[in-house]
Amino acid sequence: MAVVEAHDLRRVYKTHTGTIRRRVKEIEAVRGVSFAIDKGELFGLLGPNGAGKTTTIKMLITLLIPTAGTANVLGFDVVKDPREVRKRIGYVFGGERGVYERLSGYDNLRYFAELYGVPPKVQKARIEELLELVGLKGREHERTEGYSRGMKQRLHVARGLLHDPEVVFLDEPTIGLDPVGARELRATIGTLTSAGKTILLTTHYMFEADALCDRIAVISQGEIVAEGTPAQLKSRVASGAVTEVEVFGIPDETVERLRSLEGVMSVWVEEREQAQVLSVQTRADVQLTAAILGHLNGSNVGRVSHREPTLEDAYVALVEGE
């Protein structure tokens, strides 16, 4: 049975431009998103910045009212029964904002334990248990303004779990964390799934979605463009191949010309220190290395390599396809 269900969710934001002649501009952030998450499942919502991930999650956790469509969590409608939904969910936003900085981590947790109705008799033990889980034991009585970004992030996780919610929403929880902190947090998320929690995770880190999620929906420009297990998504591009070329100063027009080549599925460029890495995903039945290098005439070309497509390639192909 589905624990979280979204049916054709839509959300329009209104913004104003101009000072004297103010004009209302409408931005459709989410355009008909539908999905269902089963009990105990870790479902990933994967998409680039501005794709509509956070807006979708905020509608599900009752902080935003959808412009159209419906959603329910554990059978409760997110618009009609927000308080019933809130009692049963926990949520964590990425980033270091969202804690009372002048007070200690313990004070923060104690306050939210009360707000979430954790019985007074179990509050202390529950807070201790969570401090242990997120690795903040021993630092809980320090003011949070002295916490590192990772510590604040772990405090968010502890707060989201205070009332032992059945469903947990994690909105880019590892954003901005150092590799060790991110790995620790992913391990913590892993323990939550072992404990039977249902989790909706948004991220734009492909490896994170690949490593953690049972199923993934790729969201782009407010719409879900693909859904399936990581293996299923990879298989959509498994028949192709990826050519990577290290280049120095590749013009945008060249990237566009490469995109128009017959047999090219997607092209993207990543900045890596002084160099750029051009990745061209092609169909398996074509050999385009010479043609690609031919188009790079005039640019400094470094190492050229070939590899199997990854989930990241599937993601880029899906997002670019939109």
Partner 1 sequence: MSQAFRLFWTGWVFNVKNLTMSGFFILNATISPIFFATIAHYMFASGARPGSGLVYASLGAGMMGIWSSVLFGSGGLIQWQRWQGTLEYVIGVPPRLIVVVLPMTVATASIGLYSIASTLLWGRIIFGLPLDFVHPAWFVVALVGSIVSLGLLGLVLSSTFVLLRNANSLSNLLEYPVWLVTGLLISLSLLPGWTRPISWVLAPTWGIRGIRYAALGGDPVFPIVMCAALGLIYLAIGHYTLGYFEVRARKSATLALR
Q: Which residues bind partner 1 (CB under 8 A)?
A: 13-14, 58, 61-65, 83, 86-87, 91, 93, 95, 97-103, 107, 110-112, 114-117, 120, 143, 159
Nearer to partner 1, 13 or 248 (CB): 13
Nearer to partner 1, 90 or 230 (CB): 90
| Smallest separation (angstroms) from partner 1 to the CB of 159 | 7
Nearer to partner 1, 112 or 205 (CB): 112
Nearer to partner 1, 172 or 210 (CB): 172
| Smallest separation (angstroms) from partner 1 to the CB of 162 | 10
| Smallest separation (angstroms) from partner 1 to the CB of 31 | 16
| SS3 labels along the chain | CEEEEEEEEEEEEEEEECCCCCEEEEEEEEEEEEEEEECCCEEEEECCCCCCHHHHHHHHCCCCCCCEEEEEECCEECCCCHHHHHHHEEEEECCCCCCCCCCEHHHHHHHHHHHCCCCHHHHHHHHHHHHHHHCCCCCCCCEHHHCCHHHHHHHHHHHHHCCCCCEEEEECCCCCCCHHHHHHHHHHHHHHHHCCCEEEEEECCHHHHHHHCCEEEEEECCEEEEEECHHHHHHCCCCCEEEEEEEECCCHHHHHHHHCCCCEEEEEEEEECCEEEEEEEECCCCCCHHHHHHHCCCCEEEEEEEECCCHHHHHHHHHHHC
Nearer to partner 1, 34 or 123 (CB): 123
| Smallest separation (angstroms) from partner 1 to the CB of 199 | 17
| Smallest separation (angstroms) from partner 1 to the CB of 87 | 5
| Smallest separation (angstroms) from partner 1 to the CB of 77 | 14
Nearer to partner 1, 85 or 182 (CB): 85
